[in-house]
Amino acid sequence: MPNTEKTAQLVMDKPLSVPAYSKWSDSELSQCTPNDFMQKLYHRAKDIGDDLYDSRTYEFFTLAPEIYQENLVLYMRRRAWSEWYFGTVAQAREITLLPENQVNLKLRLARQIQDEMRHYDVFTQQLRRFGSEPRIAEFELPPILVQMQKVQTEAKTASEIAAANQFAGEIVLSSMTDLETSIFKRLFDKELMDAIYDIEKDEPPHIANGKDLILLECETADQRRRLALAQEKYLGFMMQLHVTEIVKLGCRRMRPLPVFE
């Protein structure tokens, strides 16, 4: 094997390593400004999304059409459920936990809830195209999705919820469309991919909401550790769920999932 091929294979075998900020000492966590720490959380989630959705880390095979459609419908039902619960319940809790003087941010979060309901409708329309319905009240949650929900529901502050919502899942999902090598461009047909592009146009202001929520409680080492831990827990579960869904659509991941170190 040529040296270049060996190098490529070694890179493929090695997982992406991202900083485990929750394990940093107080002095390490206190060395940067709140804005710099917020940026660290953003780039950590974005790096994970780019790695998770990079089609070059997968090999593809052809599924029977009926198996592919069955798994695609299950994926879209899960996305519809997530748009409803992670997109409305979490933001509603953020609004109630914010102090009264954060009127503008509360209004922005209310607009985000409206956006998330539109996203739910988009997945509903796509499900009907494939002869199904979201039926979120009947949706049997995978155990890993229950764990993701638990991270958000156990968060004590609006900032911690944001670390496990707008500054975790929303950032990762943005890689679906802005990553040139996005795996979904190969796994979805044009109509579904266009629907995903339509949804992702709403994500920048949602991520901006997360940024401002993070900065509300990002001064002390203890606050930063709690934000980092909430993000790490959620992203850890999210990676497992999403790679499981991706491989069910006709591929195999060749690189280990990112790790927190």
**Structural fold of domain 53-254:** Heme Oxygenase; Chain A (1.20.910)
- The full set of domain ranges for the chain reads 53-254
Confidence at residue 108, expressed as pLDDT on a 0 to 100 scale:
98
What is the mean pLDDT of the segment spanning 183-193? Answer: 97
pLDDT of residue 11: 54
Residue 51 CB-half CA count within 13 A: 22
What is the DSSP pairing of strand 259-260 with strand 17-18?
Answer: parallel
- Single out the residue of 205, 90, 91, 94 nearest to residue 148, CA to CA: 90
* Residue 122 and residue 129 in contact, taking contact as beta carbons nearer than 8 Å: no
Strands in the chain per DSSP E: 17-18, 58-60, 251-253, 259-260
Q: What is the mean pLDDT of the chain?
A: 94
Give me the pLDDT at residue 13, please: 77
Half-sphere exposure of 84 (CA within 13 A, CB side): 15
Beta bridge partners of 60: 251
Distance (Å) of CA 97 to CA 116, 154, 165, 219: 20, 13, 15, 18
**Does pLDDT of 29 surpass 60?**
yes
Rounded distance, CA 119 to CA 239, Å?
21
The model's pLDDT over 204-216, given as tens digits with 9 standing for 90+, comes to 999 999 999 999 9
Element (H, E) at 155: none
Q: Give pTM, 2 decimals.
A: 0.93
Do β-strands 17-18 and 251-253 pair in parallel, antiparallel, or remain unpaired?
A: unpaired
Average pLDDT over residues 129-137: 92
Angle at 114 between CA 119 and CA 232, to 5 degrees: 70
CA gap 144, 150 in Å, rounded: 10
* Structure confidence by residue, pLDDT tens digits, 150-173: 999 999 999 999 999 999 999 999
